[in-house]
Every structure is written in C-alpha cells, then in structure tokens.
Structure 1
Amino acid sequence: MWYFYNEFENEELESLINQINSVFTNIFSAVVFEYPNWMSRIKLKSDFEEFKGKFELSQPEEKEKLADAFSKNIQVENVCNMTVDPVSYEDLLNGSSEEFVRCISALKTIQGYLYDNLLKLKGLVEEVGTLKNYYEKFYDESIEYVCPFCGIGPMLTSKDQFREAFDHYLPRSKYPFVSLLRKNLFPICHTCNSTYKGDKNPRDHGKVFYPFMRDDNDCEPVFTIRTGVIENLEIASQHFQGEIETWNEVFAIKDRIKNFAEVNLSGWMSNVSEAVGIYNIDLETAKNAEIERCKSNKMQDHKFIKKAVLEAL
C-alpha cells in the first residue's frame, strides 16, 4: 500500500457489530441469552435460530472447530501479519457430518444477510446509517485523493452521489465471520476491486498489509530510466518486503505504476523543460524544484510517481 488508512471511531456501527458477535459467542458458549431488541423484529433472528439449532446438533469437535474459527477470523490484523491462520469454510467442512453441513449453510445465510441487507433496514439506517454514510466518514477520515493500493485510481468523494465498493480483504466467500467486520471492510477503487483483486485471497500469497497499520509507510517507487526510457520499477521499503510481494501479486502494482509513468513521462519532462525557459534556470535546478513541489500532498495528482520518475532522470 502507498499509504495506510487512519483508524477512526464509528460507535454506532461498532456497537451493532459487537452485538452480532455477542450472539455468536453466546451460541458457542451454550449459555441462555436474549437477542438484542432490534434483532427480534427482523429475519436475522430466525436465521440465528436456524443456525443455533443446527450447531447444537453438530458433533462436539465440530462445535469446537467453528468456535475456534470465529476467534481467529475476527483477528484481521493478526491474520494479515501471519501470527494467526484464518479458518475457511473448506477447512470447516472437511470430513464434517450432515448436521454440520446444514449448520454451515445456515451460517452462510447469516453472513450474506449481514452485509447485503442489514444496513438497508429502515430502523437501523436511522440509528446506525448506511454503508454510504460509513463511506462518507471513511473518505473524510482516511482517504488521500487516490486508492491506496494502486495510487492511480481516484476515489469517489464524500460529496458524490455514489460510493466506491467496500472490499472484503479476507473474502467473505471463503471465510466465515468476516462479512460485517470493520477491520475487514475498506474502500478501494473499482479497477483494483473488480479487475485485479476480485475474489482473490491475499493470504494465499503470503504476508499482507494490514490496511489500518499504525507503522510509518516507507514504500516508494524506484525507477531505472536510461536515455528517456523506463527500463524497470521496484518498490523500495525497509520494513515491508513480504507485504510488497503479495501486494504486487494480487494487484499487479509494478506493471500498473510503470505503465502509468511511461504514459506521463514525456509530459513531466516537458514541464521541467518549460520551467528552464520561463525562469531562465538550468535543467538540473528546474528538475530539483519540481521534485520539491512533489513532496507536499504527495498522493494528489500522482506526485509520488512523478517525483520518483524525476529522481531517476
């Protein structure tokens, strides 16, 4: 990633997610509990009752395996840094009983409903907001002009009528308990989401960026340019080499940045040449001045790419 998202508070949505996860925890713990009041009026309660009934009929080792999957899969940060291995639907269903197959089917119904339908219900919209409202807050708090994964695609703003799609970093088709989980939901541009990532599972490729990482991001493009031709691009970093490899495999970042730079190279060089004539300065001085201008708001107007190209000339 070229930059990390800022974590920000959203108490209403977080409270809703915590209540849902509490229901799962209570079912796994086999304790007597009451559903949240808002849940009693909607389909979700009957879906949970179906799941609960099938879970109780499953084998003890299957119950334990599913509770373990819940505990692990909600730890998105630890899954990303490879200190926790997530548990997939395939892992759960391997050698399972018929009742447990039905239990997992009921769980998939819940997971689909949580993301596709829950935040469209009138009562919850009034209290929690829609995913569009969440995107607006996300944009204002965390997004720096362009998609952090490619650094090229612009992101719809908080003022636009529509929003970018939220990506499930850990695919909800492969893993249970991640469909409505804030740390597994974040917006990326349409090209990254639909053309490159799709339903790919980043963890299949190794260590991955945790999108809300609190460390400093030192990823920088480094070009090799000879006689005005871009020959190579590498991504330099002291801390994230494993993550960079996965990032490139999933999103084809090196080729996309290199292609973008090739298309814009002549224009960026022309800007420098024009400055030589306008300000009556030498080429090196003009280039260095342009590099300095690229250091502020570096994601805006793709200045981080332009800076790297000029430094390689």
Structure 2
Amino acid sequence: MQKFIDFIFLEVWCKASTHGSYKLELFGANEELYDVMEYCHFNDSKYADFFASHVEQIYGLFSQLDPTTLSQLQTWYRNNNNIERVCSNDPATSIAKYSCLCNLLSNSDLYKKLSRFFKELYNNKLLTLKIFKDTIGTIDDHYKVFRDQNKITKCPFCGINNMKGTHHRYRDAYDHYLPKGIYPFNSINFHNLVPTCHECNSSYKTQKDPCHNSLGRRKVFYPYNTQSYNIELTINLKNRDWQNIQPEDIDLIFGPAILNEEIAAWKEIYGIEERYKAKCCAEEDGKDWLVQLHDEWQSKGGNIKTFMDNLIINTQRSPYTDNRFLKKPFLEACVRSGLFEITK
C-alpha cells in the first residue's frame, strides 16, 4: 500500500502539470496499482469511491501548484516517510506536521483533501476492500509475521506486558509511532506502524509526539531497528523496610549514556518509571520477589548467593520471563541496601 501511495504522490500528483487531464493511463507503469484504480473508479461503494475520487481531485489541485510549493511537498513526503532518519533526528531530514502543511497551502481545499485522504487511508473499511485484500493482503498478515518473529512475546515498548500470540483469536493494536493526527503522509507506512500492548498504546502514549517535546526535535528509538537497543537498568532503594517499599523509595538509573536522549523520550512517552516502580511495589511482583528472597535468606541461614547467582544466569538467558530484567536489579538493590546479607 505504501508503494502504491508513493507512486500516486510522486509519479502522478507531482507530475500533474505535465501529464494533462486525469485518466487511468497515468497508473499504467504500475500494473497492480492500475488494477486497484480501475476497480475503485468503477465501483460505487463508499470507500472505493472515496479513494478514487480523492486521488483524482488532488491530482487536479496539484496541477495548479507553483514549483516551489511542489518541491516542498515532495521533500516533506520523502522525509516524513523515512522514519529511521526522523527517529535519529538527522539534521538534513526536515519533517512536517499538519500545521506546516496548513501554513504552506494556506488552509486551502488541497490541504483539506490531503489531510482527509491520508488520515482515512488507515481505515479498515478501505483496507479490507476486496481489491486491496487480493492485492496486498491485510494488516493481520503483517501481525502474524511480527508475532512469529517476536519470540519473547512481550510488548517491544514496555517489556512487561504480554502480546497476543498464536493461540489468540485477536491481535494487538498497531500504534502510529509518529501520530497520524500530527504528521501527514505516513499513515500506512509499516515503518511507522508498530504492534504494541494496549497499555502502552491507549493508556500512556496515546497521541504523544515521540520526536518533539517543548524544547524541539529529539532522538527517539526507531522501532524497527535491526539491532537490539541494550538498555541498562540499575535500581537504588531509599527504604530499608522491605515489607513496605513505596514508589518514592525507588530510584531507577538507566543507561548507557550514549542513549540518554532516546531513553529520556522513551521513559516520558510510555510512563516507564511509573510502571516499573509500580511493578517493584506490586504484591504479585516486587513484593513476591522479596518474599522469595526472604525465604531463601531465612532457610539458608543468610546465604542467598546461589539464589542471586542463578537469577543473574536466568536473566541473561531469558530477561523477560517473570520480568527478570526488572527483578534482578531490584533484588540486587535490596541486597546492596543491607536488607539481606549474602554469605560469601
């Protein structure tokens, strides 16, 4: 679908002034897209008509653009779809919000039609038209591939919540990493569509803009990076009363320093500090881990070295099982604070 929109935007709309009147032959160089456009052109269903009519109407409006405006639209289109460079805050990659588009086009009919077109592209009723399902498949097909590759079965953004897997009838939601209500042109770009747990998507991130804060542009984690981001976590405790630890008693220290900017944005967008501290204080998580440690300490006469050594090994092997990536630094903090003594 993204390749179809690339062709429509760059090869049809942006060349409207030289291609004459609108006709289906404009799509002839892309056989699959030509079939889609022909289907939508002659199909009177609501969303087929929406797609065909907007492509045609926007073509007519593009034919009237001056070269400077056209060049700016092309630049913004390419940059807004280069999600990896946007996330790296590449200074050569200027990105556009809808407010930029509105200013450029003076809130014209073209601005309104472009806005509606790109926001509606992700509409399931459009994407499940027979011609699209037959040609490009469905978003469920993509989720199955993601599910098969996401072996840890945890949300890639928080690491604590389970993702729906093979034995679930339904799938988790896709989040527009760059929100589709803020950024034009990339609403169906899969580099900008990321499966995420309900809590990350609907409770914390919502419509937050990962790439901007009150100070301006910033670096953020690119969700489809081919190499894992190795985030370090150290915990310090300010309360020796292990049976009554509260969130304010916990300090979370993240690293490495080279990722400080990305980590700061991640923590802010997904409420990471609040959620990780809540886990450490929850009866079924942190307090249960403390009970395990206390029982080991009590039964072994203060020798819990084997317990901690095994936890370190298991965390290295499977960090997301039982939230070990959080459990390990939390229990290390407990030991380091003198709540329990390890016999060497």
Is TM (by shorter chain) over 0.5? yes
In the alignment, structure 1 residue 37 sits paired with structure 2 residue 26: no
Aligned to 2:250: 231
Q: Which residue of the other structure, out of 104, 115, 134, is the alignment partner of 2:111?
A: 104
* Cα offset, 1:267, TM superposition: 0.9
Q: Which has the higher contact order (CA 8 A, sep 6+)?
A: 1
Equivalence map 1:109-258=2 (5 Å): 109-116=116-123, 117-142=125-150, 144-205=152-213, 206-226=218-238, 227=240, 228=242, 229=245, 230-258=249-277
Aligned to 1:12: none
Tell me how far apart the structure 1 counterparts of residues 119 and 89 of structure 2 sit (CA, whole Å): 26
Query: Structure 1, residues 274-310: CA drift from partner, whole Å, max 9, x if none?
Result: 4457788822222222232222221122111111212
Tell me how far apart the structure 2 counterparts of residues 96 and 293 of structure 1 sit (CA, whole Å): 57
Tell me how far apart the structure 1 counterparts of residues 227 and 145 of structure 2 sit (CA, whole Å): 22
Letter of the 2:307 partner, please give it: A
Alpha-carbon contact 2:127-2:133 (below 8 Å) kept: yes
Q: 3-state SS of the aligned residue for 2:142? A: helix
Alpha-carbon contact 2:119-2:181 (below 8 Å) kept: no
Query: Structure 1, residues 223-262: CA drift from partner, whole Å, max 9, x if none?
Result: 1024234431121224311001111121121121111112
**Aligned-pair RMSD on alpha carbons?**
2.2
Tell me how far apart the structure 2 counterparts of residues 61 and 143 of structure 1 sit (CA, whole Å): 48
Select the structure of larger CA radius of gyration.
2
Equivalence map 1:286-301=2 (5 Å): 286-301=307-322
Q: Which residue of the other structure, out of 61, 72, 77, is the alignment partner of 1:70?
A: 77
Aligned to 1:283: 304
Q: 3-state SS of the aligned residue for 1:54? A: helix
* Cα offset, 1:146, TM superposition: 1.6
Alpha-carbon contact 1:137-1:158 (below 8 Å) kept: no
In the alignment, structure 1 residue 56 sits paired with structure 2 residue 72: no
How many percent of aligned residue pairs carry the same amino acid? 28
114-123 or 71-80: which moved more?
A: 114-123
Which stretches in structure 1 are left out of the alignment for 5+ residues?
Answer: 1-15
Alpha-carbon contact 1:197-1:251 (below 8 Å) kept: yes
Query: Structure 1, residues 157-204: CA drift from partner, whole Å, max 9, x if none?
Result: 143111111111111111111100010001111111111111111111
Alpha-carbon contact 1:220-1:237 (below 8 Å) kept: yes
Tell me how far apart the structure 2 counterparts of residues 308 and 251 of structure 1 sit (CA, whole Å): 20
Tell me how far apart the structure 2 counterparts of residues 122 and 301 of structure 1 sit (CA, whole Å): 43
Aligned to 1:7: none
Tell me how far apart the structure 1 counterparts of residues 74 and 151 of structure 2 sit (CA, whole Å): 35
Q: 3-state SS of the aligned residue for 2:194? A: strand
Q: 3-state SS of the aligned residue for 2:121? A: helix
* Cα offset, 1:50, TM superposition: 0.9
Tell me how far apart the structure 2 counterparts of residues 125 and 236 of structure 1 sit (CA, whole Å): 44
Which stretches in structure 2 are left out of the alignment for 5+ residues?
Answer: 20-25, 28-32, 41-47, 335-344
Change (3 A) 1:212 1:18: same
* Cα offset, 1:143, TM superposition: 5.6
Letter of the 2:174 partner, please give it: F
Tell me how far apart the structure 1 counterparts of residues 151 and 254 of structure 2 sit (CA, whole Å): 21
Q: 3-state SS of the aligned residue for 1:161? A: coil
Tell me how far apart the structure 1 counterparts of residues 105 and 192 of structure 2 sit (CA, whole Å): 27
Aligned to 2:95: 86
The alignment covers a number of residue pairs equal to: 296
The runs of 4+ residues in structure 1 deviating greater than 6 Å are 277-281
Change (3 A) 1:277 1:177: same
Aligned to 2:340: none
Q: 3-state SS of the aligned residue for 1:182? A: coil
Tell me how far apart the structure 2 counterparts of residues 223 and 292 of structure 1 sit (CA, whole Å): 18
